[in-house]
Structure 1
Amino acid sequence: MKRRDFLTTTAGVAAGASLLSSPVGAAVAGQKKKRLAMVGTGVRGIGFWGKRVVDNYSDIVEFVALCDINPGRLELAKSYMDVKCPVYTDFDKMMDEAKPDMVIVTTVDATHHEYIIRAMELGADVLTEKPMTTDEVKCQAILDAEKRTGKKCTVGFNYRYATLPTAIKEQLVKKPFGEITSVDFHWYLNVYHGASYFRRWHGERDKGGTLWVHKATHHFDLLNWLIDSDPVEVVAYGALEHYGKNNKFRGANCRNCAYTDKCDYFWDITKDKHSMDLYVKNEKYDGYIRDNCLWREEVDIYDKMSAQIRYANNVIVNYSLTTYSPYEGWRIAFNGKEGRIESWEDIPWRRQEKINQAQLHAAEMNQSGGDATRYDEIFMMKNFDRDYDILKVEAARGGHGGGDSRLQDKIFRDPNMADPYKHSAGTRDGAMSCLIGIAARKSIEEKRPVKIEELTDIVPHPTRGV
């Protein structure tokens, strides 16, 4: 076999150029700034949707209110984001007094629907963190509210905007190997990032809906977008075999534990000033423990997950999520009738440089960039051909492969910018992604295949359209 290398950057492709290069320009003189309010002031809210928006878009948007059940976190959020807006613990009062144009929802997943629906009822558009919600009843209620109120709900899916997924999308649209028949998609969370879900509220299904919904909704949205079809049926397996009650010892939390010398997962929150200020100092208000024991009995989500997903265009997906891998990354492959497209990210033996696994997720969430000369790769090989192609895609700086910046540019800087591959995600996208996870959870609990049309009134379409 011979390898043929081709250098490509998605920003250089005409169809995607306007999307993947940041739009320029500021507010038109005299133009009124969009009024933003945020409900939920955890680390994701005040960092990604808070400070980052203030730093990059203050010429066109302004925060007019912050809301949370925790008054201590509210004051910290106000200082951290460097805003002077009023803060509220009463959502309806905030809406009545602040009158925002858009409400950003970054609360605990299980409560997203409450604020999405109420915000639309009170006249505001909504931007919600993924997942849109955690069960089919709440999902249908959101869809109904959007139709009833005429307001718009956008779901913050950033992976779509990353350079590598966009480059894969560009290849799939060309159909170099005919129709895609099946997909293999495997996501690996390392022992640092994976474990963090089990010490947080995400480890309890009544709050996060399990990682089938909270985490995998990212992946399912990518699949729906790349395959360009709707899911119709899910068969899944899963178990809790590592975290939670499976360990022989457990403590109150990492700060108050007699087993720190023998627990490989010990996390010293006292060395993280931001977490201490945001969470530990404010535990007294709502009782939320950020460094909870991941071996606690209350953990009731799955830590190993596998599913088969059948799509309306007859594509079959084999998906898995691992929560205690020695490394973090993912692999995806698209099998066509005439060949195969395959790609990967952060797989150690595919990277020349060594990756600090303990700091990998933190660096991404902090928006720090990597080596600007690093390239991701897309493998392409035609059946019966002894040669294969490797397309090199320049790895973008910043969080989620540069997707974070492009997502926010599209939402705040230029909502009408060209979007040839339909990166923007609305309620239907949010629903179809979380419904796969909801169906997977139901499949495990009821030991049967679950059809997507059982869950809401959405009718799956064979083709979503580019």
Structure 2
Amino acid sequence: MKKYVLVGAGSRALHMFAKPMSEEWKDVIQFCGVYDTNRIRADLLSAECGYVTVFDNFDRMLVSVKPDVVVVASADFTHHTYIIAALRAGCDVITEKPMTIDAEKCREILEEERRSGRKVTVTFNLRFAPYFAKIKELVASGVIGDVYHAALEWHLDRSHGADYFRRWHSEMAKSGGLLVHKSTHHFDVMNWWLNSKPAEVHAFGSRRVYGPTRAKRGQRCLSCSYTSTCEFYMDLSDHPFMEKYYYQAESEDGYIRDRCVFHDEIDIYDTMSVQVRYDSGALLTYSLVAYSPYEGWRATLNGSDGRMELIQGKESRIRIIKLDGTLEEVEVPSDEGNHGGGDERLLRTLFEGSINDPLSQQADSYAGALSLLIGHAANRSIKEGVPVQIDDLLPVVAS
């Protein structure tokens, strides 16, 4: 039975990893320890997971437990630190997406993985959701031939989208912006569907809604003078997990969970448009906005033998239009699990160690690198106003 430890004690760490490791998978793996820079939060997680041992130092946890696997679910800008330390200690690593936030840290991870001989797995749960997996299966079967062009539009509503601007995610140095933190999911799915490496990226981005765009603002919702007039007001008492794990833990590190979405430190984009050219010649048109009236996405794939339209909502369908106009609709049963059933299937693969993976759903460090590098390249393109070559960011790595 392999020994696992966890770094990070936030919502994703608790619900995606800690509770499943201590409950559903306790007969398969041994959950031996947790570390978080915020001790209060780590103690709260421990109490919900059978009082797993809490460590006050990550390196001491590695020495004491000698784990087989380290699960990294901390803030994005710390991922590379823990991944590299775990690899050097002889451990395999399972990391939340994004693997890291920029090209330099990405290269460091890949080099240490190569040197250590250990393995880094990135948890791209959308690959495991039945709807996304069915698209992969259909594209791989050649139902629309060679894919020439793809378009993906993703929109976050003013609850989910705004929440990124309350947290550490709103600072580029901590998250790489939404083009890394959020879009890494979307870029990975496209890389996976197209089965091709991104080659060139050109992007545009701006802040139109969030950040210091209005005078009537405060430091945080809790103490704001404009609670009755601000459409983005959030009452922490309405969110028991946030109040318990963050508000009650503020004294430990000063991290404020309900920071104003108009604060001065926001430097990420809320409006983004990205063009990607792949080695196969396929082109991707991608957009992301974080202030939509409603949440959702839509996509199309255009190939040599037809077109695929992706429609997911209450009824999840895949529409295939052949060159002669013949129309076929493929229904995919809805899954009530987290992230369309992706989380549960991903955990089963991680902990059962299945080697049967015909769709290549399990993502390695190279897949993690390519997805985050599109986001990093997009950020650089926006800043410098020029296209960016992926090979210039990662010239020494081969798939």
TM range (shorter): over 0.9
Q: Distance in 1 between matches of 2:333 and 2:175?
A: 34
Residue 113 of structure 2 is aligned to residue 146 of structure 1: yes
Q: Which amino acid aligns with 1:403?
A: G
Aligned-partner SS, 2:185:
helix
Distance 1:289 1:171 in 2: 45
Task: Please give the alpha-carbon distance, in whole angstroms, between the structure 2 residues aligned to 1:232 and 1:401.
Answer: 30
* 1:443 matched residue in structure 2: 381
In 1, are the aligned partners of 2:218 and 2:224 still within 8 Å (CA)?
A: yes
Size of the aligned set, in residue pairs, is: 399
Query: Is the contact between residue 453 and residue 460 of structure 1 (CA under 8 Å) also seen in structure 2?
Result: no
Report the residue type matching 2:165 in the other structure.
F
Q: Deviation per CA, 1:391-447, whole angstroms, max 9, x where unpaired? A: 11101120111111110000002x134110100001000000000000000001111
| Alpha-carbon distance in 1 for matches of 2:49, 2:390 | 40
Deviations 1:128-154 (A, max 9, x none): 000000111100000000011111110
Which residue in 1 is equivalent to 2:318? 378
- Say which of 42, 50, 59 aligns to 2:27: 59
Partner of 1:359: none
Q: CA deviation at 1:156?
A: 0.7
Contact map agreement 1:188 1:328 (CA 8 A) in 2 = yes
Alignment of 1:6-405 (within 5 A): 33-82=1-50, 84-346=51-313, 351=314, 375-385=315-325, 387-405=326-344
Judge conservation of contact 1:70–1:89 (CA < 8 Å) in 2: no
Give the 4+ runs in structure 1 shifted more than 6 A.
none
How far apart are the structure 2 equivalents of 1:78 and 1:233? 45
Deviation at 1:54, TM superposition (A): 2.0
Closer, same or farther: CA 442–136 of 1 in aligned 2, 3 Å: same
Q: CA deviation at 1:460?
A: 6.9
Q: Distance in 2 between matches of 1:263 and 1:142?
A: 42
- CA RMSD between the two structures: 1.2
Does the residue aligned with 2:395 lie in a helix, a strand or coil?
A: coil
Q: Which runs of 5+ in 1 are unaligned?
A: 1-32, 352-374, 462-466
Deviation at 1:56, TM superposition (A): 1.4
Deviation for aligned residue 1:112: 0.3
Give the Cα separation in 1 of the matches to 2:23 and 2:154: 32
Q: Where does residue 394 of structure 2 map in the other structure?
A: 456
SS for the counterpart of 1:330 is: strand
Q: Using the alignment, how far apart are the partners of 1:197 and 1:228 within structure 2?
A: 30
- The alpha-carbon distance between structure 1 residues 284 and 140, as it changes in their structure 2 partners (threshold 3 A), is same
Question: Shift of residue 75 of structure 1?
Answer: 0.8
Give 1:384's aligned amino acid.
D
AA of the residue aligned to 1:205: M
Task: Specify the alignment match of 2:347 in structure 1.
Answer: 408
Give the CA deviation at 1:247: 2.3
Distance 1:80 1:147 in 2: 36
Structure 2 residues without counterparts, runs of 5 or longer:
none
**How far apart, in 2, do the equivalents of 1:404 and 1:458 lie?**
32
- The alpha carbon displacement at 1:168 in A equals 0.7
CA contact (8 A) 2:201 2:388 kept: yes
**Are the counterparts in 2 of residues 68 and 89 from structure 1 also a CA contact under 8 Å?**
yes
| Residue type of the alignment partner of 2:307 | R
Q: Is the partner of 1:220 in helix, strand or coil?
A: helix
Equivalents in 1 of 2:56, 2:201: separation in Å?
40
Contact 1:41 1:106 in 2 (8 A): yes
Q: 1:426 to 1:254 in 2, by over 3 A?
A: same
The Cα shift of 1:120 comes to 0.7
Partners of 2:271 and 2:355 lie apart in 1 by 40
Distance 1:384 1:319 in 2: 28
- Larger CA deviation: 64-73 vs 220-229: 64-73
* Contact 1:236 1:441 survives alignment (8 Å): yes
